[in-house]
């Protein structure tokens, strides 16, 4: 159902429209996966022409990089809250990621898709946002675990990278789901998101300090 928007002339209207586009892109991605959402579908959902969307965002990838930066920041807040109550760092990182399917979907697409086809300014803003999150959460991890700060940063980077790998594996296409139903021995090798992520992070937590050269 299209809503007919008139051209936004005032700054607050532009801001509203920008927000509406981001909300629509988020909703569509939650419903059908980031990779399946076209700019045309976003335009249709907000009742704007594609050319009109591009006054606000250069490409669909720019929209999703902005949503990704927002998801990273919300994740950092959730981890921070969680680590105030518990010092199980592996579980805190893994469970807060598992709670955020849109973030994990975006993580699975960032390097191979989203960081292509965007302006250098959009890429810079995104990189600075996530580097700030990784530095912040990495420092918290270091404080709680006895890892060095650089090792904390490595652990946080590994957590988000592995979440991006595990997400599409744990959320197979309908065709793969059918294959798993037909061949249970193949399905059995398909890793579960949360236990696999926790185990990898625990192994890294134990293993990283053994690599120090003093």
Give the footprint of its own copies on this chain (CB under 8 A).
35, 108-109, 111-113, 115-116, 118-120, 123-124, 127-128, 131, 157-158, 161-162, 164-165, 168-169, 172-173, 175-176, 178-179, 182-183, 186, 189, 191, 199-200, 202-208, 210-211
Q: Toward its own copies, which CB reaches closer, 99 or 178?
A: 178
Distances (CA, A) of 38 to 29, 34, 109, 128, 201: 10, 9, 14, 26, 34
The conformation of residue 111, written as its DSSP 8-state character, comes to I
| Residue 104 and residue 194 in contact, taking contact as beta carbons nearer than 8 Å | no
* Shortest distance (Å) from residue 46 CB to its own copies: 26
* Shortest distance (Å) from residue 160 CB to its own copies: 10
* C-alpha to C-alpha distance for 79 and 84, rounded to whole angstroms: 9
- Mapped onto helix, strand or coil, the DSSP state of residue 114 is helix
**Token representation of residue 114:** 């989203």
Q: Toward its own copies, which CB reaches closer, 67 or 164?
A: 164
* C-alpha to C-alpha distance for 6 and 210, rounded to whole angstroms: 62
* Shortest distance (Å) from residue 22 CB to its own copies: 22
Q: Toward its own copies, which CB reaches closer, 78 or 123?
A: 123
* Shortest distance (Å) from residue 139 CB to its own copies: 15
| Residue 81 and residue 99 in contact, taking contact as beta carbons nearer than 8 Å | no
Which stretches within the chain are classed as H helix?
11-32, 39-46, 50-53, 60-85, 89-98, 101-109, 120-145, 149-170, 174-182, 184-187, 193-207
Q: Toward its own copies, which CB reaches closer, 7 or 127?
A: 127
Q: Toward its own copies, which CB reaches closer, 43 or 153?
A: 153
* Shortest distance (Å) from residue 58 CB to its own copies: 12
Q: Toward its own copies, which CB reaches closer, 17 or 164?
A: 164
* C-alpha to C-alpha distance for 162 and 81, rounded to whole angstroms: 22
* Shortest distance (Å) from residue 123 CB to its own copies: 5
């Amino acid at each position: 159902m299209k809503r007919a928007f008139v051209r936004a002339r005032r700054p607050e209207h532009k801001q509203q429209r920008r927000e509406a586009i981001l909300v629509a892109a988020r909703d569509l991605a939650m419903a059908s996966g980031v990779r399946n959402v076209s700019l045309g579908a976003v335009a249709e959902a907000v009742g704007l022409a594609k050319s009109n969307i591009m006054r606000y965002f250069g490409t669909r990838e720019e929209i999703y990089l902005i949503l990704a930066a927002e998801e990273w920041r919300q994740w950092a807040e959730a981890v921070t809250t969680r680590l105030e109550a518990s010092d199980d760092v592996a579980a805190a990182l893994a469970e807060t990621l598992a709670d955020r399917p849109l973030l994990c979907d975006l993580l699975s697409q960032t390097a191979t898709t989203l960081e292509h086809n965007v302006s250098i300014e959009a890429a810079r803003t995104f990189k600075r946002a996530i580097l700030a999150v990784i530095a912040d959460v990495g420092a918290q991890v270091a404080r709680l675990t006895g890892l060095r700060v650089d090792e904390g940063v490595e652990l946080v980077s590994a957590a988000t990278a592995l979440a991006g790998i595990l997400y599409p594996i744990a959320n197979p296409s309908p065709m793969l789901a059918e294959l798993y139903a037909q061949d249970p021995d193949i399905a059995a090798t398909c890793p579960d998101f949360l236990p696999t992520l926790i185990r990898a992070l625990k192994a890294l937590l134990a293993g990283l300090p053994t690599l120090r050269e003093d």
